[in-house]
């Protein structure tokens, strides 16, 4: 499978996530769109890892090129899990304070 | 067109469709369910590339744990029927146009970068297996692994402190 297809798929998912962040008002949905963008990048990292593995296989049958990228994706997932727990705690706190998760009500910084 | 191509195009179509449905559905619970479907298709892509470890981690961590956390928070807030007011249609249109323009620029910039002939290894390869990744993770990446455990601890403490305030 050409790597271009994976590039375009990841770009499409990433841009759909950006559209969601720009158009939606609900803080939880915006957070979910950020997760979608993170996953698009993960998918592209894995595709590139397999692409470089295939290239390295042509010269060395025992090569392990591409392992680092997959571990990188694993660490991205670890950080994302921590980020989601803290982010959702912040959203719950926001809901408790202003009884809404609409980001339009969060313009108090300018006053 | 072989089986791999059929599965690839099917997963791609489902992923893009459910991502669009996730963005454009009014109900947040429906958004979460569509996003779970997106994560399942991305896991399918991992399995198609024989990244079995990432396949199962993506299923357990993302489609399992994180999305259940989102669902719990939405149920806690009791806003299932809450449809957000569409006050400004122009802002929505501007957001869609900006996202589409970025997509256009990315595709136009990346389609001729010399990657057309590069192939992705499908269905085989040993680097994505749990045995190999585990050996590398606990030999070469022990320090980042332990640091990530400290990160988890601090995130846990932070979530509890923010939640109790």
Domains in chain B: how many in total? 2
Q: Which of B16, B45, B136 sits opposite A67 (nearest CB)?
A: B136
Is A61 contained in some domain? yes
Is B156 contained in some domain? yes
Q: Which of the listed residues B55, B80, B105 is the one where a domain comes to its end?
A: B80
Domain that holds residue A25: 3-101
Which CATH number belongs to the domain containing residue A63 in this structure? 1.10.287.3510
Distance between CA B61 and CA A79 in Å, rounded?
11
Identify which of A97, A101, A30 has the alpha carbon closest to the alpha carbon of residue B82: A101
Q: Which of B31, B73, B79 sits opposite A88 (nearest CB)?
A: B73
Same domain, B66 and B137: no
Which CATH number belongs to the domain containing residue B53 in this structure? 1.20.120.1200
- Residue B40: pLDDT band (50, 70, 90) is very high
DSSP SS3 for B126: coil
pLDDT in tens, A56-71: 888 887 788 888 999 9
Is B42 contained in some domain? yes
Structure-token pair, residue A102: 């609409």
The more confident residue out of B116 and B148 is B148
The angle formed by the CA atoms of residues B92, B98 and B100, to the nearest 5 degrees, is: 105
Hey, are the CB atoms on A42 and B42 less than 8 Å from each other? yes
pLDDT in tens, B95-137: 899 999 999 999 898 888 777 778 777 778 788 889 989 999 9
DSSP SS3 for A102: strand
Chain B neighbors of A4, CB-CB under 8 A: 110-111, 115-116, 118
Closest residue in B to A86 (Cα–Cα)? B159
Identify which of A87, A53, A76 has the alpha carbon closest to the alpha carbon of residue B73: A87
Same domain, B72 and B6: yes
Distance between CA B78 and CA B110 in Å, rounded?
44
Is A111 contained in some domain? no
How many residue pairs bridge chain A and chain B with CB atoms within 8 Å of each other?
Answer: 232
Is B157 contained in some domain? yes
Hey, are the CB atoms on A74 and B133 less than 8 Å from each other? yes
Contact criterion met (CB below 8 Å) for A21 and A34: yes
Is B91 contained in some domain? no
Domains in chain A: how many in total? 1
Residue matched to tokens 């399918």: B44
Contacts of B67 (CB under 8 A, 6+ apart): B32, B35, B36, B39
Domain that holds residue B154: 129-165
Prediction ipTM score: 0.90
């Amino acid at each position: 499978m050409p790597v271009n297809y994976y590039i375009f798929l990841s770009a499409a998912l990433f841009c759909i996530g950006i559209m969601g962040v720009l158009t939606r008002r609900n803080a939880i949905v915006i957070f979910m769109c950020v997760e979608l963008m993170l996953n698009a990048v993960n998918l592209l990292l894995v595709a590139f890892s397999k692409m470089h593995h295939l290239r390295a296989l042509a010269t060395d049958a025992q090569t392990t090129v591409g392992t680092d990228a997959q571990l990188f994706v694993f660490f991205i997932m670890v950080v994302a899990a921590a980020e989601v727990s803290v982010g959702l705690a912040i959203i719950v706190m926001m809901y408790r304070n202003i009884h809404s998760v609409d980001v339009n009500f969060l313009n108090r910084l300018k006053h | 067109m072989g089986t791999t191509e059929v599965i690839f195009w099917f997963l791609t179509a489902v992923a893009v469709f459910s991502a669009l449905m996730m963005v454009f559905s009014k109900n947040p619970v429906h958004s979460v369910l569509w996003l779970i479907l997106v994560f399942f298709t991305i896991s399918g892509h991992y399995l198609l590339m024989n990244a079995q470890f990432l396949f199962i981690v993506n299923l357990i961590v993302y489609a399992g744990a994180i999305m259940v956390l989102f669902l719990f928070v939405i149920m806690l807030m009791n806003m299932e029927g809450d449809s957000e007011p569409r006050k400004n249609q122009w802002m929505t249109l501007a957001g869609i146009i900006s996202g589409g323009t970025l997509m256009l620029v990315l595709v136009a910039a990346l389609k001729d970068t010399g990657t057309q002939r590069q192939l992705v290894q499908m269905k085989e390869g040993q680097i994505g297996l749990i045995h190999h990744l585990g050996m590398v993770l606990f030999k070469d990446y022990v320090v980042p692994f332990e640091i990530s455990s400290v990160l988890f601890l601090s995130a846990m403490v932070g979530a509890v402190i923010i939640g109790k305030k």
